[in-house]
Amino acid sequence: MVGVSDGHTSAPAPASARTRVGRPLLSLALASMMDEVHAHSGAVYLLAADQPVLEMAVMAGLPRAFAAPWERVGLSAPIPVAEAARERRLVWVGGEEEMARRFPRIAVVLPYPFALAAVPVATPSKVYGAVFVTWPGAHPPDLSDRERDHLLAACGRLAVRLERAVEDSVPPHAEPDLLGVPPVGGPAGTLGTVEAARMVARLPYGLCSLDLHGRVSFATAAAAELIGVPVSQLLGSQLWAAVPWLNDPVYEDRYRAALLSQHSTSFVALRPPGDWLSFRLYPSTTGLSVRITRARAVAEMNRSGPRPGDSPARLVTISQVLSLAGALTEAVGVQDVVQLVADEIAPAVGSQALVLLGSRAGRLHVLGHRGYSDARIVERFDGMPLTEPTPGTQALTTGVPAFFDSREQLERLYPGRQATPDGFAAWAYLPLIASGRPVGTCVLAYAERHPFPADERAVLTSLGGLIAQALERAVLYDAKHQLAHGLQAALLPHTLPVLPGIEAAARYLPATQGMDIGGDFYDLVPVHGKAAAVIGDVQGHNVTAAGLMGQIRTAVRAYTTVGQTPEEVMRSTNRLLIDLGADLFASCLYLGLDPQRGRAVMARAGHPPPLLRRPDGRVRVLDLAGGPLLGVDGAAAYPTTDVELTPGCVLALYTDGLIEAPGVDIEDALAELGGQLAETGDRPLDELADELVHRGAAARERSDDVALLLLRADD
């Protein structure tokens, strides 16, 4: 029997709407639908008129607080009611494990055994909203044809009535929620008859009744005595709010579990200083009956102290899950995910070791592990075909979690595990499913036998969903990172040529922000007993900049090889860049080197000036003539400057990433670089290159990449 609750503040439908339709449309349709399929809770959502959002219009059978996170949801949200409206089909979730696999956001908040169906409310031409209804955990895992037909027909009828209401200009509005009829006698403290009250009072334990909101509507004197709070303070209050030592989310969680699953449940609580009480909750669609007794066995066990090998009970609360989810969003690469799972999730669920498994080319791949004394036990699974019958491959390929509370249970199903003892006694194999496909398996190992009750399985499976999303992002990041480094390595010289009379060393550092790839380049080209050196910087540090950089470097090398002068090389490269139409500019510094004559001819296109260190240690900035950036003006000229390069002189060519940093004056940075070069310029060139790039601006967080080319004239 369903009645209208007067405790909810949702605004009723306007009088005009009720007059035209006759009765509260949504409430009656929902109540009838639930009655037809024997569901015990449900809600109707309406699609907002101006945006793709579903708004809860009425809820029945449970307080709205149970569905508070989903009172207003986007049509694209990964939850059943949104999926039903979005795809115009019935969505069925047969239990808590399926909920955890498919809709981890719901399972994290409601990790209880219940079944759910979500149905679109739609005509052939328009979607008006959706309905969900739930059943207790005892519901069969499949939706019957009768239930399916009733739900689809009822939602179809509701859609037609909504269509007519809109045509009559009386669109539906939110209606009061439907909750169970209050117990007979209300808060008066009796059961309806004097004899019934006497009977209850004679029972050797305490009794109290809670409504669907958890408020005490009846309590016996024995219950008040056991709890230590007068009946007058209990009535009308939530039990965990009226009793300070019951004010713990764990106990409220038991109330929510009982109501949603409609399964009796229990918990034990310590009434200070040392009295243990047992609470047994018996739910129905109208509320809960609670039996309270002394838990003597628990008290005796507590006084005797913990037994060896006992592990503390753990419950991952919603706040913990949210914290873990937040931590996982900070993971960048795969090893970050492994470390976070080891540091945050495994301790929270009582696990002593973990393995993250992925797949590649039809084979198992060990992504990382923690807690194993012998790494070979884990790494022997690396490269194993996915067809091998192991719990890790089964979880990855089927997407179904597996829980083994003892070694005997695991080895009974997988005899091959006897050959690889790892010293652990219980395991959880969690499939990591992201974007609808398995991306790996998370294996949690426990040092002692570990039972996995239904609510813990649901929470662990939900955590698997969070890990999967982080792992998917991390794998993508690592792939992009490897691609970036591979592309950068392919575009820059692998080694510098050995030239007579010239010693050279080069360094490249990618930006610490972005894709670790950029447009900085350098090269050293031998030309008929002479040489040419070039350094440049294409604006940006992304794949486009890197690709253009490769074209420019190739062009400079080609123009040099055919014998063009430094000025001609710059003009040709400038015209090429304009012809490519890339809309990117590049700075460049080009040197024609003649070691035998001790001279260098330089041309500059908007590039930072080089530094010259003479053999006596003096350093000066070479203020060279030059032209604009490459790619700006097709008719630009690039005059050259002759510079003396005697034996022992060191030329430092660099890109602006070496000297530019937020809050640092460019002149000061250039002076600091010159000072370092003066102080350490006599060192071997490779040591000098390392010294220059690992001090100053280049060693800090870099928004730009850095290239450095050092040239020393030999005798």
User: Cβ distance 648 to 713 under 8 Å?
Assistant: yes
Separation CA 409–CA 405 (nearest Å): 7
pTM above 0.85, yes or no: no
Q: What HEC string does 344-370 produce?
A: HHHHHCCCCEEEEEEEECCEEEEEEEE
100 and 217 housed in the same domain = no
Flag whether 360 is in a domain. Answer: yes
550 and 630 housed in the same domain = yes
Flag whether 595 is in a domain. Answer: yes
pLDDT of residue 324: 62
Separation CA 99–CA 107 (nearest Å): 6
Mode of pairing for the β-strands spanning 599-605 and 640-644: antiparallel
User: Cβ distance 29 to 157 under 8 Å?
Assistant: yes
Separation CA 414–CA 397 (nearest Å): 16
For the purposes of burial, counting CB atoms within 10 Å of the CB of 146, is it exposed (0-12), middle (13-18) or buried (19 or more)? Answer: exposed
DSSP code of residue 630: B
Residue at a domain's end among 423, 456, 483? 483
Q: Give the CA radius of gyration of the chain.
A: 37
pLDDT digits (tens, 9 = 90+) for 82-125: 999 999 999 999 988 888 888 877 877 787 889 999 999 999 99
Angle of CA points 631, 632, 634, to nearest 5°: 80
Flag whether 303 is in a domain. Answer: no
> What CATH number is associated with residue 139?
3.30.450.40
203 and 160 housed in the same domain = no
Residues 6+ apart with CB under 8 A from 130: 44, 45, 54, 81, 82, 84, 85, 118, 119, 120, 121
440 and 531 housed in the same domain = no
pLDDT of residue 487: 66
Flag whether 573 is in a domain. Answer: yes
Tally of CB atoms within 10 A around 226 = 20
Separation CA 587–CA 572 (nearest Å): 14
Separation CA 673–CA 420 (nearest Å): 58
> What CATH number is associated with residue 204?
3.30.450.20
677 and 552 housed in the same domain = yes
513 and 565 housed in the same domain = yes
Flag whether 177 is in a domain. Answer: no
Tally of CB atoms within 10 A around 387 = 9
User: Cβ distance 514 to 700 under 8 Å?
Assistant: no
Separation CA 287–CA 344 (nearest Å): 37
pLDDT of residue 119: 97
Separation CA 606–CA 627 (nearest Å): 6
Number of structural domains found in the chain: 4
Dihedral (CA of 359, 405, 92, 62) sign? negative
Residue at a domain's end among 463, 483, 503? 483
Residue 688's alpha-carbon distances to 50, 70, 92, in angstroms, are 65, 61, 67
Residue 220's alpha-carbon distances to 130, 184, 207, 272, 290, in angstroms, are 43, 15, 6, 21, 11
156 and 34 housed in the same domain = yes
Q: Which two tokens stand for residue 200?
A: 């209850």
547 and 644 housed in the same domain = yes
User: Cβ distance 512 to 702 under 8 Å?
Assistant: yes
> What CATH number is associated with residue 691?
3.60.40.10
pLDDT digits (tens, 9 = 90+) for 5-16: 333 434 444 433
Its domain, for residue 390, covers: 320-483
Residues 6+ apart with CB under 8 A from 282: 258, 264, 288, 289, 290, 291
pLDDT of residue 110: 82
Angle between the N-to-C axes of helices 454-491 and 318-329, in degrees from 0 to 180, rounded to the nearest 10: 10
Residues 6+ apart with CB under 8 A from 439: 358, 432, 433, 468, 471, 472, 475
Give me the amino acid identity at 195. E
pLDDT of residue 483: 67
- List helix spans (H) across 330-448: 334-340, 346-348, 375-379, 391-398, 407-413
CA 415 to chain centre: 36
pLDDT digits (tens, 9 = 90+) for 445-467: 999 998 888 778 877 888 888 88
391 and 366 housed in the same domain = yes
10-residue mean pLDDT profile of the chain (715 residues): values are 37 38 77 92 91 90 84 86 95 88 79 92 94 92 94 95 88 80 42 64 85 89 89 88 82 84 85 87 89 67 40 46 61 80 80 89 88 84 87 87 89 77 88 82 92 81 83 76 66 82 87 61 87 86 73 89 91 90 85 89 92 92 87 90 91 88 79 90 91 66 77 86
693 and 620 housed in the same domain = yes
504 and 608 housed in the same domain = yes
326 and 273 housed in the same domain = no
Residue at a domain's end among 259, 294, 329? 294
pLDDT of residue 634: 85
Q: Which two tokens stand for residue 650?
A: 């060191």
Flag whether 153 is in a domain. Answer: yes
Flag whether 267 is in a domain. Answer: yes
User: Cβ distance 324 to 345 under 8 Å?
Assistant: yes
Flag whether 15 is in a domain. Answer: no
